[in-house]
């Protein structure tokens, strides 16, 4: 049942008692509101089912994606980045269609800032593909600095570099510096990436 609340609408759902208890326990354990999960679930469903016959979405577990990308060579990784950005641009249009509030909240930001916020918040983080344990971006003068931590292997670092280069070049930015390191933590190899992008006009 839909009800008006301020200028938004409230959607109620029915759950079996057992489902509700599991849902409630999960929310309490993860310090998240039921409404947040419900809203995200609906938006995710719409996103996954938008024109599925043309470009159906598949869900890979993190360890599956890690194995697949480790089997690729550099040329194949670059090709994957090309496919990803083509899908990403289409997904951005869908996101703006289904969630126009995002546009209103970001009207004051530059295009590159808006692009990076969307990628880091809705794609790279645990709100999206959950590729990174930590990912953020900042601007220092005109330079864009991106750093993050993941456990998906060396090839994934290469893939992210290829992907970010393609996104940033759209806004006139070029990769000018990259640092990639790794270390073992609790028997798991963790990778840290740091990339600096500068406007074309600034690069010498």
Domain total for the chain? 2
115-172: per-residue pLDDT in tens? 898 888 878 888 778 899 999 999 998 999 999 999 999 999 999 999 999 999 999 9
Pair (15, 109) in one structural domain: no
Chain position carrying tokens 């670059």: 78
According to the model, what pLDDT value does residue 199 have?
Answer: 93
The two tokens of residue 149 are: 């931590």
Q: For the packed helices 34-48 and 17-29, what is the interaxial angle rounded to 10 degrees?
A: 100
Assigned domain for 182 exists: yes
Instruction: Check: CB of residue 195 under 8 Å from CB of residue 147.
Output: yes
Q: Where are the alpha helices (DSSP H) in 55-173?
A: 62-70, 74-98, 101-105, 111-119, 154-170
Pair (16, 78) in one structural domain: no
HSE, side-chain direction, 13 A CA sphere, residue 190:
11
Q: pTM, whole model, 2 decimals?
A: 0.73
Pair (94, 182) in one structural domain: yes
φ, ψ (nearest 5 deg) of residue 171: -100, 15
Assigned domain for 139 exists: yes
Assigned domain for 23 exists: yes
Range of the domain at 91: 62-202
Instruction: Check: CB of residue 133 under 8 Å from CB of residue 190.
Output: yes
β-bridge mates for residue 103, sequence order: none
41-73: per-residue pLDDT in tens? 776 666 566 655 566 667 778 889 999 999 999
Assigned domain for 50 exists: no
């Amino acid at each position: 049942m839909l009800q008006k609340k301020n200028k938004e609408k409230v959607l109620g759902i029915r759950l079996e008692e057992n489902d509700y208890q599991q849902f409630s326990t999960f929310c309490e354990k993860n310090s998240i509101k039921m409404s947040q999960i419900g809203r995200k679930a609906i938006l995710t469903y719409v996103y996954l089912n938008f024109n599925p016959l043309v470009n159906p979405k598949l869900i890979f577990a993190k360890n599956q994606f890690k194995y697949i990308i480790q089997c690729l060579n550099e040329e194949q990784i670059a090709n994957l980045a090309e496919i990803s950005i083509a899908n990403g641009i289409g997904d951005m249009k869908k996101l703006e269609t289904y969630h126009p509030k995002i546009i209103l909240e970001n009207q004051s930001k530059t295009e590159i800032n808006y692009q990076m916020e969307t990628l880091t918040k809705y794609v790279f983080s645990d709100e999206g593909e959950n590729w990174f344990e930590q990912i953020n971006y900042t601007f220092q003068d005109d330079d864009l600095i991106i750093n993050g931590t993941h456990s998906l292997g060396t090839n994934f670092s290469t893939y992210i570099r290829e992907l970010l280069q393609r996104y940033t070049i759209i806004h006139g930015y070029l990769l000018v510096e990259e640092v990639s390191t790794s270390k073992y933590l609790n028997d798991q190899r963790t990778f840290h990436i740091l990339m600096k992008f500068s406007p074309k006009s600034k690069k010498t």
